[in-house]
Chains A and B, each alone.
Chain A
Amino acid sequence: MVGAKLSRQPHRRKAPITRKRLIEMLDQSLEEEQAPSVDERLARVVRIIFEQYDGDVKAFVESNRYTIEANRKVEAASDHGDEAPLRKCPSTTRIIGRISSARYS
């Protein structure tokens, strides 16, 4: 099937396989990536995991997740405290707008 299809093609020289160009590009990118660059922030994460968590990545992630979640809960709870209504109060412009629309409608 493939052979039959091929044989119907006219004899002509096509441009060299683009894959060759690909190989050149890959060579170039390999050269660039030869010495893998390391993000300094990731390196810092590694140092913290090694120094403070004895190399235990899971402990690092879980303890931070726990603290972040706890902070989030504290923040959410404070939203329901005494000060919350004040913070959630609509802006003065909106209040004035509502008053004026009530008065003049």
Chain B
Amino acid sequence: MPVHDKDYRENFERSLFLTGKITQEAAHALSPRIKELRAASGDPITLYIDSPGGSSAVAEGIRFLIKAPDQDGRRCRLITVAIGTAASAAADLLALGDYAIAEPQADILYHGSRQVFEQVLTFEGATSVAANLQEANERLALRLARSSFRRIIWRAVQLKDAIEKFRDGPEGLEELVEALTAKFTPKNAILLREVIAKQKSLQEVKTAADNYLKRRKNVAQWPIKQLEPELVRAIVDYRSRLHKEDDWLLSRTGMREVASDFNLIHDYVSQTKDLDALLEVYGSLFLTQAQSAEFKSKSEEEHKVYLESHAADKLEVLWYFVVSLCRLLQTKDYQLTPEEAYWLGVVDEVTGSGLQSDREMIEMIPVDGVSNAQA
């Protein structure tokens, strides 16, 4: 029988309840128990959540307190469980659990950062608040993307036919997302469609820029200072060709379009840098059958290089999809069922749903590496 793994299971004995609004007072009430649990052992701490949200800063503070290293550098794993409402900052906290569980009755709501003001607002103040909100949204989105990405990989590989197409090449992403969209209510499916539209325009402009830059010599060795203006030229060239029948001018809307394309590519490149660790672990799941056979014939040392050349582009595209998705989650209101939260990578497991989870898979493989079921 499968052996329970405490790192992936809720544990009432070592638990905390975050109910009601997330305020400084709520954090103060939880702090002694957090310290007590951490002092008792380094085992995971379960955080049960039923909260309409509140301060993101306080929610982050609670998470930090649970996960902070002790004097020996030991950190407790955080297991989050949505038992009722998990909205706004509480939804973020849920997703940021090292292992996140949603009970079937849970209600998960996402929306962008908000700021309540009690003071007179000047233009300068409003501008600064807007910039702050945008910055907070962006960082929250990136952090959410980092915790969701692993989960999305597991969702993607479950979509059987679509994953086969995606293994053939990154252009298969659209079909993969289409298959994912089928898991959502029409209202929430819009979210995925918006992401795919953005992804498409990125892909088009990226291909055009790649083709333009290919004509330049040794472009890979160019310093960024030289590369950026050339990229702008490539985008202007692409946009001019795209609008050759229209009355399109840079002085009208053209410059804005070029700037938006440039930012999109720049963002893509800067976001897809640090995927090495994930590529090493999950890269093999993105190889076609032929590539898998070739991969298996290679030595351990050659594996990394092989994955870089055959799986990295797919993982990059998927990562950018997740980043775009998480950014959109921070803009409008999205009310998610536990199953939708599962397919979006917000949670790892929905209890009683029969959906496969990391816990189930890990418990199938006990310590000796032999499948528990086979043993």
Of the candidates B115, B129, B289, B362, the one whose C-beta lies within 8 Å of that of A45 is: B362
Contact of B15 with A by CB under 8 A: no
Please, which residue of chain A has its CB at the minimum distance from the CB of B167?
Answer: A55
Across the interface, do B285 and A58 meet the contact criterion of CB distance under 8 Å? no
Known contacts being A55-B285, A55-B292, A64-B372, is A22 close to B136, with CB within 8 Å?
yes
Kindly state the separation between the CA atoms of A22 and B136 in the bound complex, as whole angstroms: 7
With contact pairs A9-B119, A26-B140 given, residues A68 and B284 touching in the complex (Cβ less than 8 Å): no
B56, chain A: closest CB distance, angstroms: 5
Q: Is A7 an interface residue (CB 8 A)?
A: yes
Which residues from A are CB-within-8-Å of B117? 6
Is the pair B136, A42 in contact by a Cβ cutoff of 8 Å?
A: no
* B window 145-169: CB within 8 A of A: 146-147, 149-150, 154, 157-158, 160
The reply to whether A25 and B61 form a contact with Cβ atoms under 8 Å apart is: yes
Q: Is B118 an interface residue (CB 8 A)?
A: yes
B364 A6 Cβ-Cβ under 8 A: no
Q: List 20 A-B contacts (CB under 8 A).
A: A19-B56, A19-B113, A19-B132, A22-B57, A22-B136, A26-B136, A30-B146, A35-B276, A37-B277, A39-B358, A39-B362, A41-B5, A44-B369, A45-B361, A49-B285, A54-B292, A55-B157, A58-B158, A60-B364, A64-B364
Question: Which residue, of A6, A26, A30, has the highest number of chain B Cβ atoms within 10 A?
Answer: A26
Q: Which of A10-18, A83-91, A96-104 contacts B (4 or more CB under 8 A)?
A: A10-18
Chain B neighbourhood of A105, CB < 8 A = none
Within B44-66, the residues touching A (CB, 8 Å) are: 55-57, 60-61, 64
> A58 to nearest B CB, angstroms?
6
A residues with a Cβ closer than 8 A to B are 6-7, 9, 11-12, 14, 17-23, 25-27, 29-30, 33-39, 41-51, 54-58, 60-61, 63-68, 71-72, 75
Task: Tell me the smallest distance from the CB of B19 to a CB of chain A, in Å.
Answer: 22
- Nearest to B146 among chain A residues (CB) is A33
Chain B residue at smallest Cβ distance from A13: B119
Residue interface bits B321-334, CB-to-A below 8 A is 1, else 0: 00000000000000
CB neighbours of B158 from chain A (8 A): 57-58
A30 touching B142 in the complex, CB below 8 Å, given contacts A6-B120, A55-B285: yes
Q: Beyond the given A33-B146, A41-B362, please list 16 additional residue pairs across the A-B interface where CB-CB is below 8 A.
A: A6-B119, A26-B136, A26-B143, A27-B139, A30-B146, A33-B143, A33-B147, A39-B7, A39-B362, A42-B361, A45-B365, A55-B287, A56-B160, A61-B360, A65-B373, A67-B371
A63 touches B60 (CB 8 A): no
Contact status A68-B1, CB under 8 Å: yes
Q: Chain B contact residues: over half helix, strand or loop, or mixed?
A: helix
Asked if A67 contacts B143 (CB within 8 A), the reply is: no
- Say whether, besides A33-B143, A33-B146, A26 and B129 are in contact (CB < 8 Å): no
Q: Count B interface residues, CB 8 Å.
A: 59
Tell me if B132 and A17 are in contact (CB < 8 A).
yes
A63: nearest residue on chain B (CB-CB)? Answer: B373
In angstroms, Cα B119 to Cα A65, docked, is: 59
Contacts of A21 in B (CB 8 A): 57
Min CB distance A40 to B, Å, is: 9
Interchain CB contact under 8 A, A72 and B1: yes
Q: Which residues of A contact B136 (CB under 8 A)?
A: 19, 22-23, 26
Chain A contacts for B143, CB-based, 8 A: 26, 29-30, 33
The answer to whether B219 has its CB under 8 Å from any CB of chain A is no
Q: Are the C-beta atoms of B157 and A57 separated by less than 8 Å?
A: yes
Determine whether B185 belongs to the interface, using a CB cutoff of 8 Å to chain A.
Answer: no
| A46 B60 Cβ-Cβ under 8 A | no
Q: List 4 tightest A-B contacts by C-beta distance, closest first.
A: A67-B373, A26-B139, A22-B57, A64-B373
